[in-house]
Amino acid sequence: MSQGFQWIRSLIFMIVIYAWMLILGVVYLPYAIFTKRGALRACKTYARSTMWLARWMVGIRCEVRGTVPTGEVVIGAKHQSFLDIIMIFDAIPHGKFIMKRELLWTPVIGMYARRLGCIPVNRGKKGAAVAKMVKDVAKEFAEPGQLVIYPQGTRVAPGVSKPYKVGTAILYNGLGFPCVPVATNAGVFWPRTGILRKPGLAIVDFLDPIEPGVERDAFLSRLEDVIETRSDALMKEVGFDPDGGH
């Protein structure tokens, strides 16, 4: 299949999934306004249908590996694309994401993120942002769920290095929950920028939890090592060399 034809398929796919997001957002709106269960059902429906469309329209198959946590945990996840968000959210029972504040003003996404209990962070005010994040998370965990945070703070393209930030360690120590690292290769097929979506096997892998009580620096070092090592292995599994590209 030519890359040009795949690009056209990808463009149609992107139009379809964003139109579908708007349709579902409107259909579920009355339910979501009055109950978080409605918002959760809408987002689960969107995640599952988008993964189905990805397989059918652009050839991306999605696979979840490892033991998916169901209790109260912090999930420290590798973030390469929108796809890994969808896959993780679909896999866990009640995901709540640490997200950049600007997304709250995004049509559909912002309203549903609020209803799910996602915690916005002002990335421009580092010290104040971390302090507020901890306070907001403590309040939000009055209701059980799995808190998803991206330790690198943003999407990072396959093969690109970016340091792990201290926020994940602060939440891990402050909440006293286990931290479940998650690796992925999703960005190989669904990149952080551009239209082209490549066929292949996108994987998110839930790794062994880091139990509470590990000192901050040791925790961050261990978290980065297990996520990066496993993510590199997943990328190599599908033919992508994280040290030098395809």
Closest CA to 77 of 158, 226, 187, 181: 181
**Whole-number pLDDT of residue 111:** 79
pLDDT digits (tens, 9 = 90+) for 125-148: 555 556 566 666 666 555 678 999
Residue closest to 65 by CA, chosen among 184, 150, 149, 156: 184
- Whole-model pTM: value is 0.90
Question: Which residues are registered as beta bridge partners of 246?
Answer: none
State residue 129's pLDDT score.
57
CA distances 192 to 67, 104, 158, 179, 243, Å, are 26, 20, 9, 25, 18
Average pLDDT over residues 106-123: 77
Residue 245 confidence (pLDDT) above 70 = no
Binning pLDDT at 50, 70 and 90, where does residue 156 land? very high
Residue with tokens 């190599």: 236
Is there a contact between 158 and 80 (Cβ–Cβ < 8 Å)?
yes
What are the residue boundaries of the structural domains of the chain, listed by start? 61-237
- Tokens 């590990």 belong to which residue? 214
- Of the chain, the percentage scoring pLDDT greater than 90 comes to 66
- Structure confidence by residue, pLDDT tens digits, 199-237: 999 999 999 999 999 999 999 999 999 999 999 999 999
CA dihedral 27, 32, 37, 39 (to 10 degrees): 70
Determine the Cα–Cα distance for residues 132 and 120; give it in Å rounded to an integer: 9
What is the phi/psi pair of residue 121, to 5°? -130, 135
Tokens of 143: 């209701």
Question: How does residue 61 score in pLDDT terms, banded at 50, 70 and 90?
Answer: very high
Give the Cα separation of 104 and 175 in Å (integer): 24
| Cα→Cα distances 237→45, 77, 172, 202, 232, Å | 29, 19, 30, 10, 9
pLDDT of amino acid 2? 84
Determine contact, residues 186/87, Cβ cutoff 8 Å.
Answer: yes
- Which residues are CB-neighbours of 115 under 8 A, at least 6 positions away? 32, 33, 36, 38, 39
Residue 246: pLDDT band by 50, 70, 90 thresholds? low
pLDDT of residue 209: 97
**Architecture of 61-237 per CATH?**
3-Layer(aba) Sandwich (3.40)
